[in-house]
């Protein structure tokens, strides 16, 4: 009986990465991520996995971002007992991110109950959190550290290897060799980074695969060069701080994006391109993630190591403040000018960023700089799409500030980089499926791959299954 692969998420959309492989003898997962953005995300996250969690032998985790790791505690709570294999940096980041995600789930469940009581006098039902902090902590005990490029045997007859993906610290391309005489080789690109991306090394080249799953987040566009991107960033900040005398708000994922932005701002200031900077990183998780990042400096590229050494020194005119206390975060909303506020969440749907947007979006002298992918349905996507007003905490907020979308700062490879990575294969895989992308992006990449490489990729559809023959 041939092995099969089922697409349980990140198929026709960007979030919810989860792939089930059934060899006939065992079942295992690559990723177990949370759906994010849009009204359907909550329903999808609470829906049945479509399999018995107790039957899953192990999980291979590509990286720590919640849309790849965020349902692992729910999987464990439903009976999964096997190991979760990931790079050491990914394990360390998950130790920060999964309990934080659980805390948010618990808080939102409490808020939901409170709102029901206010509306009806009593709660008609209590909505349980997706998972609890205790369940997240229990899940972390199942995680196993794997070195890059070292082959492991997570189950007799199955071999796996994690390669640099160049996306965030610890991110990996997942290679799996299935049992059998032919040894079918399955490769999942994970989230591939743009070459030359700050801090992390570029993605490793992969030479062969029988079945390839490749991300397509930016499959329909090319980013500007890093030089052009830094010109854009510099102009946006100087215009806002020096000429309009307002604040700069940067929604950023606490893991990866925040650290990249701080490093880039440091390099721009060092080169004399920016004035004195007063930077506030308003995310408790970002501080924890930054601490983890610094512990893994051996994974940095050489330029990032040099910047890290510089950041360890004191430099008047370049100040970075990590905001922890709620009171200090609230106090930032009284700042009328001169502040760069980097805050989570990256898609603007939760966390402290919503407060900063509420106070700064109505002000024409301020700017919001979008530096990462914004999923359909998210508040960040509405800002990118130039909404004249948005709702925050149930109230309308006019959008009068400047909105800059700087795609070149994305941690995802663009169309040209994806095609460049694919060209390293010695021959076309037998099967190629495009995942982790909205339909328009995946379709554009599908056409380019067919035209330039002569392959015949397909767009993955949720809940479809394929044979790994």
CA-nearest of 235, 171, 207 to 412 is: 171
E strand residue ranges, 264-351: 277-282, 318-323, 340-343
Residues in the chain: 469
CA-nearest of 12, 17, 13, 28 to 67 is: 17
Please give the radius of gyration of the chain, using alpha carbons only, rounded to the nearest integer: 22
Whole-angstrom Cα distance, residue 179 to residue 156?
8
How many CB atoms are located within 10 Å of the residue 183 CB? 12
Structure tokens at 334: 């009284």
Whole-angstrom Cα distance, residue 284 to residue 85?
26
Return the pLDDT at 120: 65
Whole-angstrom Cα distance, residue 217 to residue 373?
8
Assess contact for 62 and 188: CB atoms under 8 A: yes
Return the pLDDT at 389: 96
Return the pLDDT at 230: 94
CA-nearest of 343, 351, 254 to 293 is: 254
Contacts of 89 (CB under 8 A, 6+ apart): 64, 169, 170, 292, 296, 299
Q: Domains in the chain, ordered, with CATH?
A: 3-221+411-468 (3.60.15.10), 226-409 (3.40.50.10890)
Assess contact for 352 and 393: CB atoms under 8 A: no
Return the pLDDT at 166: 93
* Sole residue written with tokens 């940096």: 89
How many CB atoms are located within 10 Å of the residue 364 CB? 10
Angle between helices 257-270 and 284-295 (to 10 degrees): 70
DSSP output for 70-82? TTHHHHHHTT--S
Return the pLDDT at 125: 56
Given a cut of 70, the residues of the chain with pLDDT beneath it are 120-126, 181, 469
Return the pLDDT at 79: 97
Dihedral, 207, 211, 216, 222 alpha carbons, nearest 10:
30
Return the pLDDT at 335: 94
Return the pLDDT at 353: 93
Return the pLDDT at 39: 75
Whole-angstrom Cα distance, residue 311 to residue 267?
10
Beta-bridge mates of residue 5: 21, 466
């Amino acid at each position: 009986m041939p092995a099969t692969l089922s697409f349980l998420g990140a198929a026709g959309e960007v979030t919810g990465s989860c792939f089930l492989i059934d060899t006939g003898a065992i079942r295992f997962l690559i990723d177990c991520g949370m759906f994010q953005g849009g009204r359907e995300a909550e329903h999808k996250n609470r829906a049945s996995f479509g399999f018995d969690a107790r039957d899953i032998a192990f999980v291979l985790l590509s990286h720590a971002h919640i849309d790849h790791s965020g349902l692992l505690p729910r999987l464990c709570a439903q009976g999964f007992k096997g190991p979760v294999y990931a790079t050491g940096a990914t394990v360390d980041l998950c130790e920060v991110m999964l309990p934080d995600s659980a805390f948010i789930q618990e808080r939102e469940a409490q808020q939901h109950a409170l709102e029901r009581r206010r509306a009806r006098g009593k709660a008609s039902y209590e909505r349980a959190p997706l998972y609890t902090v205790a369940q997240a902590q229990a899940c972390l005990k199942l995680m196993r550290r794997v070195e890059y490029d070292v082959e492991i045997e997570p189950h007799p007859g199955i071999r796996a290897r994690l390669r640099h993906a160049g996306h965030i610290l610890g991110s990996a391309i997942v290679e799996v060799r299935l049992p059998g005489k032919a040894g079918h080789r399955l490769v999942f690109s994970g989230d591939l980074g743009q070459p030359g991306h700050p801090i992390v090394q570029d993605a490793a080249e992969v030479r062969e695969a029988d079945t390839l799953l490749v991300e397509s987040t930016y499959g329909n566009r090319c980013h500007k060069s890093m030089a052009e991107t830094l010109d854009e960033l510099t102009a946006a900040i100087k215009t806002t701080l020096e000429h309009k005398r307002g604040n700069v708000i940067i929604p950023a994922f606490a893991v990866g994006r925040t650290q990249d932005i701080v490093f880039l701002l440091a390099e721009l200031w060092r080169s004399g391109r920016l004035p004195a900077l007063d930077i506030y990183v308003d995310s408790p998780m970002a501080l924890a993630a930054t601490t983890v990042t610094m512990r893994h400096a051996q994974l940095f590229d050489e330029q990032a190591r040099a910047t890290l050494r510089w950041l360890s020194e004191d430099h008047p005119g370049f100040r970075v403040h990590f905001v922890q206390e709620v009171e200090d975060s609230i106090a930032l909303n009284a700042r009328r000018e001169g502040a760069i506020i980097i805050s989570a969440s990256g898609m603007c749907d939760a966390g402290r960023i919503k407060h900063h947007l509420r106070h700064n979006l109505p002000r024409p002298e301020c700017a919001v700089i979008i530096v990462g992918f914004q999923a359909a349905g998210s508040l960040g996507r509405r800002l990118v799409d130039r909404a004249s007003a948005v709702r925050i905490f149930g109230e309308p907020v006019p959008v009068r500030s400047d909105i800059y979308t700087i795609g070149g700062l994305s941690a995802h490879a663009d169309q040209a980089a994806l095609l460049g990575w694919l060209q390293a294969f010695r021959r076309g895989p037998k099967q190629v499926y495009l995942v982790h992308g909205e339909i328009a992006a995946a379709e554009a990449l599908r056409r380019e791959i067919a035209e330039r490489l002569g392959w015949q990729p397909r767009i993955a559809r949720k809940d479809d299954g394929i044979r790994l023959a």
